[in-house]
Amino acid sequence: MTQRLLTHLRHVDLAVPDYEAQLDFYRGLWGLVPVAQDPGISFLAAHARGHGHPLSEADERPVSCPRP
C-alpha cells in the first residue's frame, strides 16, 4: 500500500514570475474568482465568498524543492 504524505491542504500561497499569465490560467481554466486584489497580488477562491488563496508576483523563479 502507498503511504500518503499529504492528506489535507488548507492554504496555498503561490509566488509566480509571470503573474498575469498565471492569473489568467487560474481564473480561466480552474474558474477561480478574485475575492481581493492589489497591484501584483490577487486572492483567489472557488466562489466569491470563499477563503482567498494568494497569487503574487515574484521577482525571480524560486528553487524547486527536491522530492523525498
**Residue pLDDT, tens place only, 26-39:** 889 888 888 888 88
| pTM score, whole prediction | 0.64
Res 57: pLDDT? 83
Work out the average pLDDT over 19-27: 90
Res 66: pLDDT? 54
Res 50: pLDDT? 66
pLDDT at 41 over 80: yes
Query: Torsion angle, CA of 51/34/31/24, rounded to 10 degrees?
Result: -140
Work out the average pLDDT over 12-22: 86
User: Rounded distance, CA 22 to CA 17, Å?
Assistant: 9
